[in-house]
Structure 1
Amino acid sequence: MADPTKRSEENGKEPTSSDDANLSARLKSLDARIDKASAQRSKTTESTARSKSDSNALGQAFRLSAEFVSGVVAGGIVGWLVDRLFGISPWGLIVCIILGFCAGMLNLLRAAGMLKGARYDEKR
């Protein structure tokens, strides 16, 4: 049986000191590249790590979607009530849903800060 502690190449020769030196040089080179890659990886993972701003952005997205949807739903409910009270079946619902859409867009723009809120113009 072959001795497992002795290493030999495929052609049956025993390793020489130059082979060991080459192997050591390659190992050192590989170690240096691994260290460099892990340092770069730690920099990129720190910069892409989840921060508090991600949760703030998610909360802002839910708030903006709720502002819009609530306007449309409120318009639909008011339109349905107008249809039931006055018997003008589809028209009350259609008009109020359109008005609800417009109100939802206005609320969305105000909540996003793209549109200033209504101000009182004090002229004396």
Structure 2
Amino acid sequence: MTDDRDEGLEKRRTQLGAELETLRKEVGEDGPREVRAEASRKGYAEAMKLSSEFIAAIIAGAILGYLLDRFVGTAPWGMIVLLLLGFCAGVLNVLRSAGMVSTPPTAGPGKGKD
């Protein structure tokens, strides 16, 4: 009984191997690799975009806070407050870009108070 089972499995494995070879020849060996590489590049590009948006918001908040402290003389409170606001803005930008939060509605003609 186990011999019949082993022979059936071996026959099935050989048949699947032949079908796989046929598919590889039709599609080409580089097809799946290119698809995976493309997905990897898209993921990397998305990660770079999100991280640069986040870091840019923090840096902008820090610079504005430093300038506020420098000209108004409120050191270190301007930098602390605007750095935190920059952090919050960066998180919100990342969430919007990732599609987790919807974009705010634009106020056009006819919109607003009724």
Whether the TM-score (by the shorter chain) exceeds 0.5 is yes
Q: Which residue of 2 aligns with 1:51?
A: 37
Deviation, 1:120, is 3.4
Tell me the amino acid that sits aligned with residue 88 of structure 2: C
- How many residues were matched structurally? 89
Equivalent residue for 2:55, pick from 52, 55, 69: 69
Runs of 4 or more consecutive aligned structure 1 residues displaced over 4 Å after TM superposition: 45-48
Tell me the amino acid that sits aligned with residue 118 of structure 1: P
Q: Which residue of 2 aligns with 1:95?
A: 81
Counterpart mapping for 1:16-27 below 5 A: none
Deviation, 1:89, is 1.1
The structure with the largest alpha-carbon Rg is 1
Deviation, 1:93, is 0.6
Unmatched 5+ stretches in structure 2: 1-13
**What CA RMSD, in Å, does the superposition of the two structures yield over aligned residues?**
3.0
Q: Confirm whether residue 79 of structure 1 aligns to residue 65 of structure 2.
A: yes
Q: Report percent identity of matched pairs.
A: 38
SS of corresponding position for 1:115:
coil
TM-score (norm 1): 0.59
